[in-house]
Structure 1
């Protein structure tokens, strides 16, 4: 499952939970709002952690692609040198 789907699922679940919580809340509104804030802060922290993890994965992949590109470029330069040095 992709990270985008996970993040979208977390956000959707948070919104749905908040709406259901407000509709079915038997407590005073202040208590409900306090609980919602606490849960929202918790979910926001989870979302930030997931985004950081995704950012690190992208950075790692970009670094690997750069290494691979440099290796292919060096190989191409060597091949070009071999072809230029050979006589037909």
Structure 2
């Protein structure tokens, strides 16, 4: 479990514990308390869904950035490989020319 998952689980657990404690000490009628708890639970669920959606969006954006950076690095690496290949081929030709002159 990642640290972020642990934090989210801790927040949810604390909210649930707070709701239970609130019920035990509430001076309200049962029906009012249930309505209030339902509204609070819906609010928590909505907030959690919003957080999940933001996380997904951030993940998607980050994934795109990583993919772009990987493609950029791949392109640079391919350019360097081509450059080295050209140098090696050039040096091989120079060595061949020198070898033919001395033969």
Unaligned runs of 5+ in 1: none
Q: In 2, are the aligned partners of 1:3 and 1:54 still within 8 Å (CA)?
A: no
Task: Deviation per CA, 1:18-63: give whole Å up to 9, x if none.
Answer: 1111211222222111110000001111111111111111111111
User: How large is the RMSD of aligned CA atoms in angstroms?
Assistant: 1.6
Q: In 2, are the aligned partners of 1:22 and 1:32 still within 8 Å (CA)?
A: yes
Once the 2 structures are TM-superposed, how far is the Cα of residue 9 of structure 1 from its aligned partner?
4.2
Report the counterpart of residue 28 of structure 1 in structure 2. 29
> Paired residues, what number?
86
Report the counterpart of residue 46 of structure 1 in structure 2. 47
Report the counterpart of residue 17 of structure 1 in structure 2. 18
Q: In 2, are the aligned partners of 1:25 and 1:32 still within 8 Å (CA)?
A: yes
Displaced runs of 4 or more, over 6 A: none
- Partners of 2:40 and 2:15 in 1: CA distance: 8
